[in-house]
Amino acid sequence: MSKARERLLETAGRLFGERGYECVGINEIIAKAEIAKATFYQHFPSKEALCAAWLRGVEEHYAAMHRELLDDPRPARKKVAAMFDLLSCQVKSSGYTGCPFCVTSTMVPADSEVRQVIFGFRERVRSFWHSMARELGVKGVAARNLGDAWLLLNTGSVTEAQNVGAIWPLEQAKKAALALAAHASPKARTAKVSQA
């Protein structure tokens, strides 16, 4: 990848993430990236294409994170907790203003290329949580339900954290996710009953 393209993607990602697609202009991006406008349009045909390229990069990043976590040999319950800890770290990092896909989703037309990227990402995250539920030993429709519940806690906590500017949503989502896990997993339930 050329230096100019790299810098453009990096700068645009930072700005889009901070203030949202619609609130950041091409002029600001090229100024901050110190790239000439003509060069920009040699790499990307439009602002929207830049946005799509950025989101595809983020998608790859998350995909790697999910793969790594699924391959991790720890028990599933620890990995669910670890995922929420990872999200917590991201939210705590400076300038974070919510899931890039959710934030961008409202600002692009429904039939755009960007929307397709967003849609694909959400699908992938959902199937990640489904896999996690199956790893816990839950089967069939119950695994889908548990995975969806985790996904919604994931989405909800990140969104809420952005809305209120705090990290309690992440901590509370982790607790709820583990409670649901304890409720759903046959092994865990047995352990809990024997504790009582």
Q: Answer yes or no whether residue 79 interacts with DNA by CB under 7 A.
A: no
Q: Answer yes or no whether residue 19 interacts with DNA by CB under 7 A.
A: no
Q: Which is nearer to DNA, 25 or 186 (CB)?
A: 25
Q: How far apart are CA 175 and CA 172, in angstroms?
A: 5
Q: Residue 104 CB, nearest distance to DNA (Å)?
A: 14
Q: Answer yes or no whether residue 3 interacts with DNA by CB under 7 A.
A: yes
The sign of the torsion formed by the CA atoms of 133, 134, 138, 143 equals positive
Is there a contact between 51 and 17 (Cβ–Cβ < 8 Å)?
no
Q: How far apart are CA 4 and CA 26, in angstroms?
A: 14
Q: Answer yes or no whether residue 80 interacts with a copy of itself by CB under 8 A.
A: no
Q: What residue ranges bind a copy of itself (CB under 8 A)? A: 19-20, 22-23, 97-98, 101-103, 105-107, 110, 118-119, 122-123, 145, 148-149, 151-157, 159-160, 162-165, 168-169, 172-173, 175-176, 179-180, 183
